[in-house]
Structure 1
Amino acid sequence: MPALTPAAPAPAVLVESALPPHGEGTAGDSAIQKALEAAWPPDLPSPDARELLAAGRDLLRADATGIGRARWSGVFPASRQGLAPAFATARFRIQAAIARRDGSPDKAVVHLVWAGTDRGGTFTDGRITDWHFTRTTTKKGAPTWTPQPRT
């Protein structure tokens, strides 16, 4: 019977991340956008997606920097209007965003990845925020997307 010899170890496989390393700056934003789109294929009509993305970006900016909170009084009640912003406007950017259905044709979520410098001076990228919306009808009978307050 021949002597058994241990099998050679399998060669190491390097797995390269589709996402850029933290701190890459704006150069990595397109890779984050592509990764989001690949992971979550589009399922909304283009006009709805555009409306939701614009609203989601505005909501995130208002939440993080304080700019524009009054426009979203249903999301930011008067008690939150005067809160000091948590992030500096000069060091805030949205790295990527997608809008997708959220369980039904009348619900959607805007998924945002963003970067910012907090009041303490700490810069962090790859932050994630989701804003949920429900399709409603305006007083004039036109459909629109209404952001849902955070719970």
Structure 2
Amino acid sequence: MLPPRGEGAAGDRAIQQALETAWPADLPVGDERRLLAAGRALLRADATGVGRGRWPEVFPGSGQGLAPAFSTARFRIQAAVARRDGRPGRAVVHLVWAGTDRGGTYSDGRITDLYFTRTASTKGASSWVPQPRT
């Protein structure tokens, strides 16, 4: 059962458990951990503007003064899971988050899906690359 909207951080654990129950893990633990870290950082960069330079392929021209939509102080990721995207070498990070926009409107339970593709380096290591949002 999901907590009521506006519950605040107290409801985050229930949201996380609901996500994990509805969408069972299907990635190796290391991949899931890396994807979750990247997904959280990418969403934070998108919403708050902080760290956009880390992903120039996702945020082209990010140094051109685009005002962030959300304040870093009033932004929180409530829950997140990383799962396969149904195609080889593809994954999705599903995030539920809360924030106060520039107009002062607070909302929780916002949902964002970020997609990643696995790439291999010449040394045999692989990494997950975020795909531009369309």
TM-score of Structure 1 vs Structure 2, range by shorter chain: over 0.9
Higher mean C-alpha deviation, range 72-81 or range 37-46: 72-81
Contact 2:52 2:62 in 1 (8 A): no
Aligned length: 134
Identity of aligned residues (%): 75
Q: Are residue 141 (structure 1) and residue 115 (structure 2) matched?
A: no
The one of 50, 53, 63 equivalent to 2:36 is 53
CA separation in 2, counterparts of 1:31 and 1:42? 17
- The change in CA–CA distance for 1:87 and 1:24 in structure 2 (over 3 A counts) is same
Q: TM-score, normalised by structure 1?
A: 0.85
Match of 2:50 among 67, 70, 86: 67
Match runs of 1:1-151 below 5 Å: 18-78=1-61, 82-151=65-134
Q: Deviations over 1:70-125 (max 9, x none)?
A: 00111110157531000011100000000000012310000000000000000000
SS of aligned partner of 1:78: coil
Greater RCO (CA < 8 Å, at least 6 residues apart): 2
Normalization by structure 2: what TM-score? 0.96
Q: Distance in 2 between matches of 1:21 and 1:80?
A: 38
Structure 1 contact 107–132 (Cα < 8 Å) conserved: yes
Which sections of structure 2, spanning at least 5 residues, go unmatched? none
Aligned AA (2:11): G
Q: What is the SS of the residue equivalent to 1:85?
A: coil
CA contact (8 A) 2:118 2:126 kept: yes
Unaligned runs of 5+ in 1: 1-17
CA distance in 2, matches of 1:79, 1:64: 12
Contact 1:69 1:81 in 2 (8 A): no
CA RMSD in angstroms comes to 1.2
| Paired AA for residue 128 in structure 2 | W
What is the CA–CA distance in structure 2 between the aligned matches of 1:64 and 1:139, rounded to whole Å? 34
Runs of 4+, deviation exceeding 6 Å? none
